[in-house]
């Protein structure tokens, strides 16, 4: 069988190479026998249920503590969602009602209710609910196993005789955080994407992992030797000695590159021909500020603000927001901090908003539409930015712009709030630069008009790709279709860059595309001289910039723009980049930057 026939592709969610035999894990709801109990035993079943919930909550608390130790405080919050499921009164009352009215055993009632909720969430079409399905399944498996006095699949590695790679249909965060790193050296899952909770934990712990690999359980039998490359998103079955040796060399090259990346942090992001590229950081949470600064970010190109609302029962006040924005500005003195206004809706509606479920939330009431329809909330955020701009170089950016009046109405509100602050005697800037986030084909086609009325443009490539190609980026089945290198997306990127240059306005890219080496090389050639990337990827992108000339990047971009397909565009970019960069160091097929923590080769 050829190497091509033995090669399987999924989504690389945690980088690194792992080799070894596989072990299949059947992490699924167990078969629960249908059994009814006498009326006099019903309350005993309710007590059994409550005792099981209490014990599993304690177990989840232990997982959380272990996650704090192994992955960090923020990653450990993943388990809070599972605990909340066990505390959801509507969910638990529904189970108790099934026991009392239908005389079901506790385990059968729990299974019945879980399947009901799972079907409801699956049909909702909400990506956030789809991501939470793994959490729901994981919680249900633990409760049902407890009620049936069974050992869980989490104990599987106790029987492992050598370091192995787990293969499962779906992996839960609880299973992932328990892994013995010496015994489990890699993970393969049929379900899940880069944003799955189990994927986030695997990346933080440093276990190479591939998710979204359809048919893995059926195609990879337990005990099969494989090479898992979490950076490329590939699994090679039954490798030859030569293929094992090549994997070892690849791992060595990547380690050599990581040393060079550490050296690049303190060096300027200048191309070989002397063009400076402004590298900024994308920041989701306050604790990422220090990472961005430590990795040499020249400010913040995308400061997400949703964390101020999500998980809270009420909206943040002006003082809270002002204090945070001021802190970010003072963390990067002299550098710009681009504050994205609330990008609510879609999969990110917080507790303060009680809105009807929309049939297609990503085409519905979200982002700037919500802000303009909720002016009191929006004006509070604008005031906070104006006040924080007294001590920092703050800018304001509007997400999901599709109409010119969205910029104009926001600017009008800014001037009104600045005048109001001045009248109140509160120190504040009279205005801050106002930019549009280009995330839709509508905004890209209107880029010349947007550039006229905005102070800058910034491209969000994740949503731009999703909306242009009509592909749900969280759908593992469509993972091969979600590519920002599609000719249609490349043309839109070029259109935005040219419109900004014609209007003499700065343009940047702040989507995931800017964090990938091949894509960053392409973006330079398309005319973008400001990139905002995930903090762990900053050293890699800076090192890459220092290896190439703008002439090389432009030639590669021009050739890629003429390609008929994404695959051909990628081949062109790989060829051009390996001529500019030492190909023994750079892995041109890599799609996932290793970041601060990467998996290691385990034999």
**Residues annotated as part of the active site:** 197, 510
- Please report how the helices 89-102 and 106-124 are oriented relative to each other, as an axis angle in degrees rounded to 10: 130
**Helical H runs in 282-429?**
288-294, 318-331, 368-373, 375-388, 404-423
In the β-sheet with 7-9, what is the strand arrangement from edge to edge? 7-9, 234-237, 225-229, 17-25, 164-168, 184-189, 209-211, 11-14
**Helical H runs in 403-486?**
404-423, 441-445, 447-453, 461-469
What is the enclosing helix (H) or strand (E) of 491? helix 487-502
* Whether 414 contacts 386, CB under 8 Å: yes
DSSP string, 557-599: HHHHHT-SSHHHHHHHHHHHHHHHS-TTT--TT--S---S---
Nearest to 420 by CA among 388, 454, 382, 392: 382
Q: CA-CA distances (angstroms) from residue 594 to 204, 272, 539, 589?
A: 11, 24, 10, 13
Tell me how far apart the alpha carbons of residues 482 and 467 are, in angstroms, rounded to a whole number: 10
Contacts of 454 (CB under 8 A, 6+ apart): 407, 434, 435, 436, 505
* Other Cβ atoms within 10 Å of 528 Cβ, number: 26
Contacts of 191 (CB under 8 A, 6+ apart): 134, 169, 170, 211, 212, 476
Tell me how far apart the alpha carbons of residues 469 and 463 are, in angstroms, rounded to a whole number: 10
Tell me how far apart the alpha carbons of residues 410 and 400 are, in angstroms, rounded to a whole number: 13
* Whether 568 contacts 240, CB under 8 Å: no
Q: What are phi and psi of 10, to 5 degrees?
A: -135, -150
> What count of residues does the chain have?
603
Q: CA-CA distances (angstroms) from residue 477 to 220, 228, 493, 583?
A: 19, 20, 26, 32
- Between strands 336-340 and 393-398, the pairing is parallel
Q: Is 602 helix (H, G, I), strand (E, B) or coil?
A: coil
Tell me how far apart the alpha carbons of residues 8 and 275 are, in angstroms, rounded to a whole number: 40
């Amino acid at each position: 069988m050829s190497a091509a026939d033995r090669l399987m592709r999924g989504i690389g969610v945690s980088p690194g190479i792992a080799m070894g035999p596989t072990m299949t894990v059947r992490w699924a709801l167990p078969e629960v026998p249908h059994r009814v109990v006498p009326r006099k035993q019903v309350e005993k079943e309710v007590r059994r249920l409550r005792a099981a919930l209490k014990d599993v909550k304690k177990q989840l608390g232990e997982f959380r503590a272990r996650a704090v130790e192994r992955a960090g405080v923020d990653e450990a919050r993943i388990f809070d969602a599972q605990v909340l499921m066990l505390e959801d009164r509507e969910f638990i009352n529904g189970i108790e009602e099934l026991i009392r009215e239908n005389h079901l055993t506790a385990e059968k009632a729990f299974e019945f209710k879980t399947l009901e909720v799972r079907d409801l969430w699956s049909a909702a079409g909400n990506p956030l609910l789809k991501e939470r399905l793994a959490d729901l399944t994981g919680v249900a498996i633990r409760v049902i196993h407890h009620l049936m006095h069974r050992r869980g699949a989490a104990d599987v590695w106790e029987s492992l005789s050598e370091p192995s790679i787990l293969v499962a249909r779906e992996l839960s965060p609880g299973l992932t955080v328990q892994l013995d790193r010496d015994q489990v050296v890699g993970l393969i899952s049929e379900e899940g994407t880069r944003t799955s909770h189990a994927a986030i934990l695997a990346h933080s712990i440093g276990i190479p992992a591939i998710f979204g690999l359809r048919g893995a359980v059926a195609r990879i039998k337990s005990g099969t030797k494989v090479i898992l490359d979490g950076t490329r998103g590939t699994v090679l079955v039954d490798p030859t000695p030569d293929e094992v040796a090549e994997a070892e060399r690849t791992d060595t090259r990547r380690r050599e590159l990581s040393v060079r990346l550490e050296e690049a942090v303190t060096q300027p992001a200048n191309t070989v021909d002397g063009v400076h590229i402004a590298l900024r950081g994308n920041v989701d949470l306050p604790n990422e500020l220090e990472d961005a600064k430590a990795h040499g970010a020249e400010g913040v190109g995308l400061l997400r603000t949703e964390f101020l609302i999500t998980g809270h029962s009420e909206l943040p006040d002006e003082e809270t927001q002002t204090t945070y924005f001021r802190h970010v500005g003072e963390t990067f003195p002299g550098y710009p901090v681009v504050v994205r206004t609330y990008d609510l809706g879609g999969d990110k509606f917080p507790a303060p908003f009680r809105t009807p479920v929309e049939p297609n939330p990503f085409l519905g009431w979200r982002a700037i539409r919500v802000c303009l329809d909720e002016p009191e909330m929006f004006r509070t955020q604008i005031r906070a930015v104006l006040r924080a701009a007294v001590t920092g170089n703050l800018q304001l950016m509007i997400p999901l712009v599709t109409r010119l009046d969205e910029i104009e109405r926001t600017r009008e509100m800014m001037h009104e709030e600045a005048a109001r602050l001045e009248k109140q005697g509160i120190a504040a800037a009279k205005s801050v630069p106002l930019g549009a986030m280009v995330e839709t084909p509508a905004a890209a086609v209107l880029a010349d008009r947007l550039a006229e009325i905005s102070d800058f443009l910034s491209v969000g490539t994740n949503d731009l790709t999703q909306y242009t190609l009509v592909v749900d980026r969280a759908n593992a089945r469509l993972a091969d279709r979600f590519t920002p290198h599609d000719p249609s997306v490349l043309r839109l990127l070029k259109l935005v860059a040219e419109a900004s240059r014609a209007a003499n306005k700065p343009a940047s890219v702040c989507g995931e595309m800017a964090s990938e080496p091949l894509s960053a090389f392409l973006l330079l050639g398309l005319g973008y001289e400001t990139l905002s990337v995930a903090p762990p990827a900053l050293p890699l992108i800076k090192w890459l910039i220092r290896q190439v000339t703008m002439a090389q990047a432009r030639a590669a971009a021009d050739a890629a723009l003429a390609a008929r397909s994404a695959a051909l565009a990628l081949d062109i970019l790989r060829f051009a980049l390996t001529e500019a960069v030492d190909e023994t160091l750079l892995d041109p097929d890599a799609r996932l930057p290793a970041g601060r923590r990467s998996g290691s080769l385990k034999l």
